Amino acid sequence: MSSTPRNCRVGVDIGGTFTDIALDLDGTLHSTKILTDYTAPERAILKGVKTVADMAGIALSEIGILIHGTTLATNALIERRGAKTAFVTTEGFRDVLEMRTENRFEQYDLNISLPPALIARADRFVVRERIDAAGKVLLDLDEASVAAVVEKVVAGGYGSVAIGFIHAYANGAHEVAVRDAILKRLPGLSVSISSEVSPQMREFERFNTVCANAYVKPAIKSYLDRLVVSLKDIGVGCPVFMIHSGGGIVSVESASEFPVRLVESGPAGGAIFAADIARQYGLDTVLSFDMGGTTAKICLIENQVPMTAKTFEVARTYRFRKGSGMPISIPVVEMVEIGAGGGSIASVDAMRQIRVGPHSAASEPGPACYQRGGKNPTVTDADLILGKLDPANFAGGAIPLSVEASRQAMSDDIGSVIGLDPEASAYGTCEMVDENMANAGRVHTVENGKNISDFTMITFGGAGPLHAARLCEKMGISTFLVPPGAGVGSAIGFLKAPFGYESVRSAVFKLSNFEYAEANRLLEAMKAEALGFVEGGLDAGSPVIERTLFMRYAGQGWDIPVPLADDNFDAASAETIAALFEREYERFFGRAIEGLDIEIVSWSVKASSPLPPVERIASIAEGNVVQPGKTRRLFEASQGAYLEAGIHERTGLKPGDVIKGPAVIVERETSAVLTSFFKAIVQRDGSLLATRI
């Protein structure tokens, strides 16, 4: 073991199937994948951290920082496994969670299915109070109704309470007063208020967000407390930080208080990983494709920065349908998430068509080929039958795979129903999952006004490189990149993430009567809030401040983001802001509208540590075509037949080497499949740059 202090950082990503661990020791990466333990997720982390420390030859006490992302909050919301939660709101607004908005995502469906409210009506209580949209008190808080609600909370035995009042984003005084009253009677009870969790307009989204935060808060806090103690018990005494949905790093304490910000933390790490690769290669139009054991995620990265949003949905009742899920109003890396991972279960529907997902075999019991009790056919089973996986070398040989078990599962659940042999069933399964992912990518790029064929795909995750070539064929993409460590890409992304926090608030300012002094005070308060969350992570240098206004023409129902310089406003600022808005409006919609007043409805201030400079990687010239040492049968979907594919060990390749498809390039945590249409050139950093032949 080394006795000299070294720069050692660990990234940990808990997924639905695998827990990925990446350790960076002085620039050298060591990684592993451990099956996720649903009973006690921290056990897989402890096992994985010990494994990578042994690989690196260091003591656990030498780890300097651990950065963690998890899907536990997401899973708790989807599976409704949270605390017994009460919701306290303004009298007259008890049913907002069920009434939702007037949006009808399936206009002609008479039997439309909406997600049930997170908090049942019997657990929702009201108090008499009213604040207007400007933050002015119209009706003082009624002390008698507050006292009555406190007694109901006591009698109900709730583990958590969410408080959301109408227009509390403009003035949270009444929410604070009710929280104080509850905590005076029940000290130590978990209480979340919307003016702190999500101070944004639109009460349906804000109420859902504070309810979600309260719902998962006790379980996430308990888990994080156990994790920190367990790490210390095995000798890992370093600081532990969390990645949040916006792609920044915050302390465990902040994550425990606002766990709803962890809902998309794992996928955000993957987008950061892809953005870092895009910076190194100077790529400005990138499609990030992350396919793991449970889900696949697609994110657009432009000018080396992932696209972001201030709202997103979880637990959609209609796949790919905006408006069919539970809205969460927090800053988030914007991506499309598809229930199409390696463990996604294949089945036959009433129309005798193969369907894949969203249900997953996950890690318990896992795909049929894992031989851990799973009987349903999954994407991993299909990949194994089609020759994409080596049954003796999956996860570095840690999980031996059974081809016969996969064939039996395919035959039982698919082949016997629609009269196909196991190979044809596997082919149909892979084509269905690939088409689902390709369609999601097409829709996402079109919705953002982009042409998907202009993008370079960066693929990672345990299953991403297996499916990337076929997806590129379907989407018309001519180039994809498989970076080193692709199998644990999200965990590596955590190590690339800045310390950062984004403060978002709603406050309406019309430009025709722009109160610049009040706007300056608002932005200064938001800047102080954002800096307060990241100050512990700033080693050196000044933080990067990014400001964004969300603006619209007066009378419109939605707004667009307008980037803003970090300067104070003055009397002439209204004209400058109007010009910035009209430029962005023309970019979105083609032309500006004359004669209408313009208003700012929401504000964002993001503080983050500066990104370190990267060394640009120049493309390398083609060298010699590498001849494979061995081959195996690989099914080529475009030709509907098995071909002999070359098998290459990635560790044995050197810069400039050329591999022509059909081929499989294998490594410990994933495999990259090249179809006959692609060749790959090994780059200076070990990345595989695949292009159409």
pTM, rounded to two decimals: 0.88
Q: How far is CA 128 from CA 7, 185, 217, in A?
A: 56, 20, 27
Q: Which tokens in the block code for residue 37? A: 């333990």
Mean pLDDT on 148-153: 97
Render pLDDT for 405-453 as a digit per residue (tens, 0 to 9): 999 999 999 999 999 999 999 999 999 999 989 998 998 888 888 899 9
Render pLDDT for 66-98 as a digit per residue (tens, 0 to 9): 999 987 787 788 778 899 999 999 999 999 999
What count of residues does the chain have?
Answer: 693
| Amino acid code (one letter) for 503 | S
Task: Provide the H-helix boundaries in 103-202.
Answer: 143-156, 173-185, 194-197
Render pLDDT for 506-539 as a digit per residue (tens, 0 to 9): 999 999 999 999 999 999 999 998 888 776 655 5
Contact 154, 124 (CB under 8 A): no
Render pLDDT for 312-329 as a digit per residue (tens, 0 to 9): 887 777 766 777 788 888
Read off φ and ψ for residue 111, nearest 5 degrees.
Answer: -110, 40
CA nearest to 367, candidates 14, 16, 13? 16
Render pLDDT for 617-637 as a digit per residue (tens, 0 to 9): 988 888 899 999 899 999 999
Q: Which long-range contacts (CB under 8 A, 24 or more apart) does 640-645 make?
A: 640/427, 642/387, 643/676, 645/387
DSSP secondary structure letters along 68-103: EEESHHHHHHHHT----EEEEEETT-TTHHHH--S-
